[in-house]
Amino acid sequence: MKSRILRNIKARKSIVNKELERTIWRYMSRNTTLEPQIRMQAQLALNRTPREASPTAIKNRCLITGRGRGVFNEWKMCRFQFRLHALNGDLPGVDKASW
């Protein structure tokens, strides 16, 4: 497996593990009814969370090649691999267009 795919899998697991904690800190830092000191502490705690725990760290990658561009979300494949698998008949419900 390519290192980029492994890095992406690790980031997705980290996001799932830290999701509740990040949501709580984000809610506290944006809640205007709390005291400013508490809001500042919540913002600092949110800043201390690992960078890879941020949802923006995820990039859709092809599961086969690890390519980061031209990835179809529904099949999690890049366009070239999608074409190869579709022509081989590996993808159910996908046919070559003809008109």
What domains are there in the chain, each with its CATH number? 1-59 (1.10.287.1480), 60-94 (4.10.830.10)
End-to-end CA distance of the chain: 39
The pLDDT, as a whole number, for residue 96 is: 81
Percent of the chain with pLDDT strictly greater than 90: 54
DSSP at 25: H
Mean pLDDT across the stretch 55-67? 86
For residue 1, pLDDT beyond 80: no
Q: Phi-psi category of 77—alpha, beta or left, where left has phi over 0 and alpha has psi -120 to 50?
A: beta
pLDDT tens figures, 3-40: 888 888 888 899 999 999 999 999 999 999 999 999 99
Reported as half-sphere exposure (CB side, CA atoms, 13 A), residue 28 has a value of: 19
